[in-house]
Structure 1
Amino acid sequence: MTFDAPRRLVAEALGTALLVATVVGSGIMADALSPDDGVALLGNTLPTGAILVVLITLLGPVSGAHFNPVVTAAFALRREIGWGLALGYMLAQVAGGLAGSLLAHAMFELPVFEISQKLRSGGGQWLAEGVATFGLIATILGALALKVQAIPVLVGLYITAAYWFTASTSFANPAVAIARAFTDTFAGIRPADVPAFILAEAAGALVALAVAGWLFAPLAAAPTERTDP
């Protein structure tokens, strides 16, 4: 089934909004329920992984369920989506992410508009964002080559793991990074720290495109078996 551009754009905006609302909202809830940062991070991690499985499963058939400008850029570089539609996706993702932050604040009766003061900077954080995004893009491309149906679960599990093995807690998404600059809560990031995160994410995505493109090329090129009648 082919969906038209307006439906695809709405799917990308809606999916990114619900993803960010989950990240920010679960961070607010976890921080309120536990003074322990480790417990709070766990409370932030599990809902994020879970909502990704749901959103990708439901909205994947509509738009591809990118919810992430570097994912969209990766597919545009692979010529699997036109750059005009890709730009529309990116704008929808950023707008949806911002709406998700505002929605989370409204649900928890916080000031709807905030600027984060949370410091997230330094070489370790930037490297972590590059690694997190590399792994995300490689996971998606690997699943496309091996088992498309597993993408929702694999992405959800990867992000759940990456929350814990990366120093940055794995934003791996420029739209999410921008949106989280507008929440001064557990999930926030200072606006001044966002550009370096985005550059690191873009670098990680480019490396993943090269590595995964080479690694899985024989699978992509393999002829499909068929049985003649």
Structure 2
Amino acid sequence: MTTIVLPSNITISEVKEPTEEMIDQAVKLTNALQVGDPSCKAWTGGNLELLPLLMHAIIKATWLWEGAGITYVATDENGVLVGFSQWLPLGQDLFGSEDRRQFGFDEFMEKMSDEAKKYFAESLGREFPKYLDEAFGIPQSQTKVHFCNLVMVQPEYQGKGIASAMFKMAYEEAKQMGAVVALSTGNEHNIVVYEHIGLTVKGHQVFQSPWGEWPSWAFAWETNPKEP
């Protein structure tokens, strides 16, 4: 991997005990960057007002449930969050227990329409995991890779090596476990970003929903590549 030079005012570190303010900043950033993603319309049953609730549930469950996830945070000289990434290590299922769902996921689901609940269960519960398994060539892949749940960087700080630095940290963590770094994105503009970092497209599929279609590209980064 090439040397990454960050802006002099940026610090990146793993944060295990975030403040509520830091969580709120992460949710606000995620919602702002994700609101135009067509997958979010499908995930929320066409009700984007529920997006902050869903993102809050994902971010909080990953961050606060002990052993569930890893969060890297980029802050400026004033301690303001300018970017973050969240990762699920081997064996972790984000909403695989009632305790984790109580971080906001159950509340989110209660506000969904019956049609949306059914779609969420069928698409994200079955079709999407199947697609990832086929793309990565690994059964139950989301619990057998070092999976990136979210990676977000403020627009004015994009292209300055922040995402690359966080991925490098995740790569080293995954390498110790012998795991593959993996993620999916619904934003076509991210393809060149992830390829530049070192990931490779492993699969692509367009999913249908009552609220419009949404694409996904699956990426992987081998931490122990096989000899040619």
TM-score, normalization by structure 2:
0.29
Structure with the larger helix share = 1
Greater RCO structure (CA 8 Å; 6+ sep) = 1
TM-score, normalization by structure 1:
0.29
Structure with the larger strand share = 2
